[in-house]
Amino acid sequence: MKILGIDSSGLVASAAVLADDTVVSEFTVNNKKTHSQTLLPMIDQVVKMSGIEKNEIDAVAVAAGPGSFTGLRIGSSTAKGIAYVLGKPVVSVPTLEGLAYRMAMTEHLICPMMDARRNQVYTGAYRIKEGKLEICIPQKAADILEILSEVNRLGEKVIFLGDGVPVQMDTIHREMIVPYEFAPAHLNRQSAAAVAALGAIYYSEGKMENAMTHRPVYLRKSQAERERSEKLKAEQGM
């Protein structure tokens, strides 16, 4: 099985090719360049360096959200375009599940966090059992205090990772009751290799989409939509 993985859901842009149980090539950057500039060249490079022809790819796995609205649109449209041209399916991997799968060898609870601004995070809680991801708290947009309270109630040691962690570090230290730690630098951000690996599992379970029907998952309105809604409410209240 050969899977092309794509993740542009957050600050990181990443592309990888997985062949069976081996990541044969991966390209990941976190340099604040726009994903529209970097993603396609990265995909071309990882496929070329993998030695695998594009038509040999069985599916395109993409981090499907939540995350940056612009990043998700870029990743989704790129995955759809490649899958459509190749006549292959798209495997939608929820962003936070892909991020949590970075810690697939731990026995502890895993809590990925992506910064959603306004003191909110995109988050969830997971554990790994027999190599498979188990959802303890489904992914959602939540206030940081809300998710930390939920994790505390689970009563287990937890590992935090994601770009929301540095933003909320002080709050985590202040609010956590159960034992906790943070993922190391080489595992604490999104990775297309993790998306591809989890995508391969979902592919084997038949969790696939047609390229034309794939849509990203935003979980909440964009900033522009929220501002417009707030403006309308203010005008109606006048």
Q: How confident is the model at residue 236 (pLDDT cuts 50, 70, 90)?
A: low
What local confidence, expressed as pLDDT, does residue 210 receive? 94
What local confidence, expressed as pLDDT, does residue 65 receive? 95
225 pLDDT more than 80:
no
13 pLDDT more than 60:
yes
Name which residue leads in pLDDT, 172 or 220: 172
What local confidence, expressed as pLDDT, does residue 97 receive? 97
What local confidence, expressed as pLDDT, does residue 9 receive? 94
What local confidence, expressed as pLDDT, does residue 221 receive? 54
What local confidence, expressed as pLDDT, does residue 31 receive? 81
Which among 163, 220, 160 has a CA at the least distance from the CA of 190? 163
Global pTM? Answer: 0.90
200 pLDDT more than 50:
yes
CB 199, CB 88: distance < 8 Å: no
32 pLDDT more than 90:
no
What local confidence, expressed as pLDDT, does residue 220 receive? 64
CB-CB neighbours of 69 under 10 Å: 18
Per-residue pLDDT tens over the stretch 65-112:
999 999 999 999 999 999 999 999 999 999 999 999 999 999 999 999
The whole-chain average pLDDT of the chain stands at: 92
Q: How confident is the model at residue 219 (pLDDT cuts 50, 70, 90)?
A: confident
Could you identify the residue written with the tokens 């542009």?
8
Phi, psi of 100 (to 5 degrees): -65, -35
Per-residue pLDDT tens over the stretch 102-156:
999 999 999 999 999 889 999 999 999 988 899 999 999 999 999 999 999 999 9
Looking at the chain, the whole-number percentage of residues with pLDDT higher than 90 is 86
Domains of the chain: 2-94+190-219 (3.30.420.40), 96-187 (3.30.420.40)
